[in-house]
Structure 1
């Protein structure tokens, strides 16, 4: 006989099972992409920038993914091309969170006029088209790894500020913070004992969600030729370079594109699972 408890628990079990499948798939995809990016250079059979055979060869025993228009081994370029898609987004997200979290906590604690001015400035910065502004900055300062990290972090700082400021303001408005202030606790004590422990879950989850967005943003810049310069390989750049091979050797495009998707989707699914476990709502980009 079905009880009320069973009726209530059934949807939860379905959601839990679906979430478990999602985190398994996401974790596997993430491990695959990270494994290729980090260990790939050790396994590459050829120099990724050297001519290894005739141009536009199809997959064979010697060249498992074939060769590109210049005769470079595609497998070797894939194995070497993930570093920038992992390192640059990770560093950019860390920088964005370091700066954005500090500003967000500061404004959330301060409130008043300071909070209002910062919030309006954040709204203005978020309204700017990131890709267009990135093109302007990279055209002016070049496309080195440092510039790419800086430009990417710059455009994601306001989004982090908004999330952290909202989380901090919610904690500051709580009764236990009011009690701490009534006891005469300093701002530093309130920050350490009340604010940070209560927003840390939100920060962890938001870092994963933001990292997924940054991966796609950096891959797009590479695709447009604004990131890694040829002949150095990058998954995003390879998708653009090998478009002409799509009919004769689709793996030349599909493999790097799939690895980018695996990295972004894997991070997103894992961060969603963390959000579920911590009962945290992920703020939209």
Structure 2
């Protein structure tokens, strides 16, 4: 008589937990990609004009309007499909500018003398103490309707943190033995920067960029909620939440649909950033 052997219960739980963790990046990536495609390509497939009043306000969903109408009688589906592009492009542009500024300033602060480095970091700290939302409010209100001002505000609010993170990463690389040996044998600092420093801080820079993108999405959506940024009747997920919130008891879809898309995108990008940080940490250990 044979006896079937089974793995210990603890091992089964470990395998299942590992399988869930391995699927998490794919699920998060799929969710983020879905929302990004919806935001970028949505205006091309919108069934109606997102700015035209087509029916009574807060009309319930039916065959003509799948999610009903909003506070002004506009098609909610069309506004959802057209309202994400501004937020995604503005947040991405602000993140790119903040990443470029943070990388340049952080590496420069690590390369120059200690006195100049401390002076540069003190200047960065002067901006870091300003509340991010206050920076966005001042610039967006000072240049009403300007997408460039909103991008600059998002970049200015997030760049100081990137500078500090990347300066610490560059300091760690510059203090390693192979960089000191390269400098001791007379290699130009430009060559050391290109071949030794930048490749070794690429992981932390990518992780920091993903985290800053989440913050940029929050700031851009908040600006839209407060009525800042590109104005007029143009759809914006943040503004849609603000406009339709008073009618929540009449129709939930006009404010709930854009809010859920913003939450889904932020959560998915945040999960991917966390997984990327874990991967970079393991590779650097």
- TM-score, with length taken from structure 2: 0.91
Match of 1:245 among 244, 247, 254: 247
- Mapped to 2, the partners of 1:30 and 1:254 lie a distance apart of 18
Structure 1 residue aligned with 2:19: 17
Structure 1 residue aligned with 2:158: 156
Structure 2 residue aligned with 1:34: 36
Structure 1 segment 78-89 matched on structure 2, within 5 A: 78-89=80-91
Query: What SS does the corresponding residue of 1:227 show, helix, strand or coil?
Result: coil
TM superposition shift of 1:25: 2.8
- Mapped to 2, the partners of 1:100 and 1:58 lie a distance apart of 48
Structure 2 residue aligned with 1:112: 114
Instruction: Determine whether 1:96 maps to 2:98.
Output: yes
Cα separation, partners in 2 of 1:10 and 1:279, compared to 1, 3 Å: farther
- Mapped to 1, the partners of 2:200 and 2:29 lie a distance apart of 27
Query: What SS does the corresponding residue of 1:82 show, helix, strand or coil?
Result: helix
TM superposition shift of 1:27: 1.5
- Mapped to 2, the partners of 1:226 and 1:17 lie a distance apart of 44
> Post-superposition, which runs of at least 4 consecutive aligned residues in structure 1 deviate over 6 A?
9-12
TM superposition shift of 1:227: 2.0
- Mapped to 1, the partners of 2:273 and 2:246 lie a distance apart of 36
TM superposition shift of 1:279: 2.5
Cα separation, partners in 2 of 1:30 and 1:10, compared to 1, 3 Å: same
- TM-score, with length taken from structure 1: 0.91
- Mapped to 2, the partners of 1:2 and 1:214 lie a distance apart of 50
Structure 2 residue aligned with 1:219: 221
User: In the TM superposition, what whole-angstrom CA distance separates every residue of 1:110-159 from its partner, at most 9, and x where no partner exists?
Assistant: 14101111222222321111112221222222231111111111111111
Gaps in structure 2 of 5+ consecutive residues: none
Superposed CA RMSD: 2.3
Structure 1 residue aligned with 2:276: 274
TM superposition shift of 1:32: 2.0
Cα separation, partners in 2 of 1:166 and 1:280, compared to 1, 3 Å: farther
Structure 1 residue aligned with 2:73: 71
- Mapped to 2, the partners of 1:13 and 1:172 lie a distance apart of 40
- Cα contact 2:144–2:229 (8 A) shared by 1: no
